[in-house]
Amino acid sequence: MAEQTETLKYERPKSLLPVVTNYCPGCAHGTVNRLVAEVIDELGIEGTTIGVSPVGCSVMMYQFFGCDFVEAAHGRAPAVATGLKRVNPDNIVFAYQGDGDLASIGMAETIHAATRGEQITVIFINNAIYGMTGGQMAPTSLPNQVTQTSPYGRDVATAGYPVRVCELLSSLDGVAYLERVTVDTPAHIRQAKKAIRKAFQNQVDGIGYSLVEVVATCPTNWGMTPQDSFEWMRENMLPYYPLGVYRDVVAEGFADAAEAAAARAADCPIASQGGAR
């Protein structure tokens, strides 16, 4: 009888701890947490990586990952990440944030970390709702979307319009890389992983601020099955938040964000003086 050999095809990433997460069934956080862990493993950076967890459903991330972690106040992860990275520039520092955290209470920290060109990686989960507090309207909730605090649907006449984060940040000179992905299909998950890997690799290479926006679902607070919520996301969110690359200075032919910023300001005498960082 021929000897049987076992080949392990799929296992827990080493940088994820063997613990049960608090994520709901069908939630994209589990998938994205895993993708981040896979990338950390593949780049061999767990020992030098510091994660910054937000306030929101991923608040307990520091219990799921084996790398060092700092738990930030609501919205402040980019500022905390700035402090960490400035002290130890050799560390790989990433912030992981939801839409309320990143695009509402933490918008100032988000924009300024980006425009300073902080050498950090930001993973942004956009599921158009506040999950942890039970389904309130988010800065990314769609027009007419029903939530606990927009029970008649988001009325743009009073509640205003959703924020498109990648488009907003793409005008800033400190930014090296912005991509919007989703994780509803194997093909999209592979693309999301590629983007997350690039966002980390950029930091390893010192290219500049990188953010990956993951358009995600919240079956629990949307009140749908995981399958229906993906269907709703494809139908409603992707037209409003189109997938794709919104900035990639390397693909544009620059060495890094600083070089791209210099080219853009070439006609400004003071900005073109030598000695910039």
Partner 1 sequence: MAQNEKVLMKGNEAIAESAIRAGCRFFFGYPITPQTELAAYMSKRMPKVEGTYLQAESEVAAINMVYGAAAAGARVMTSSSSPGISLKSEGVSYIAGADLPCLIVNIERGGPGLGSIQPSQSDYWQATRALGHGDYHMVVYAPATVQEMADLSYKAFDVADKYRTPVMILGDGMLGQMMEPVSLPEPRTELPEKPWATTGHRGQREHNVANSLYLSAEELERTNFERFERYDIIKREEALSEEVDCDDADIIVVAFGASSRIARSAVKEARKQGIKAGLFRPITLWPFPVEALAATVGHAKAYLTVEMNMGQMVEDVRLVVEGRAPVEFYGRTGGVIPTPDEVLEQIRAIDERLGE
Q: Does 206 bind partner 1 (CB under 8 A)?
A: no
> Could you say whether residue 68 binds partner 1 (CB under 8 A)?
yes
H and E: helices and strands count for the chain: 11, 7
Task: Please give the C-alpha separations between residue 125 and each of 122, 128, 152, in angstroms, as whole numbers.
Answer: 10, 9, 25
Figure out which of the listed residues 32, 39, 40, 67 binds partner 1, where binding follows CB under 8 A. Answer: 67
* H helix or E strand, kind and range, residue 171: none
For partner 1, the closer CB: 112 or 234: 112
Closest CB to partner 1 among residues 62, 240: 62
Q: Taking CB under 8 A as the rule, does residue 48 contact partner 1? A: yes
Q: Smallest gap, in angstroms, from Cβ of residue 187 to partner 1?
A: 33
Nearest-angstrom CA–CA distance, 126 and 97: 9
Q: Which stretch binds partner 1 (CB under 8 A): 63-71, 215-223, 251-259, 260-268?
A: 63-71
Q: What angle do CA 229, 111, 267 make, to 5 degrees?
A: 125
Binding mask 79-118 for partner 1 (x = CB under 8 A): xxxxxxxxxx--x----------------xx-xx------
CA-to-CA distance for 117 and 173, rounded, in angstroms?
Answer: 7
Nearer to partner 1, 113 or 189 (CB): 113
CA-based nearest residue to 53, from 74, 71, 32, 78: 71
Query: Do 243 and 212 touch, CB atoms closer than 8 A?
Result: no
d(CA 182, CA 176): 20
Give min distance, CB of 29 to partner 1, in A. 17
Between 80 and 176, CB nearer to partner 1:
80
Q: Which of 42-50, 144-152, 183-191, 248-256 is the region at the interface with partner 1 (rule: CB under 8 A)?
A: 42-50
Q: Which two structure tokens, joined as six digits, stand for 93? A: 């520092």
What six digits make up the tokens of 127?
Answer: 């599921």
**Residues at the contact surface with partner 1, assessed by CB under 8 A:** 46-50, 52, 59-60, 62, 65-73, 76, 79-88, 91, 108-109, 111-112
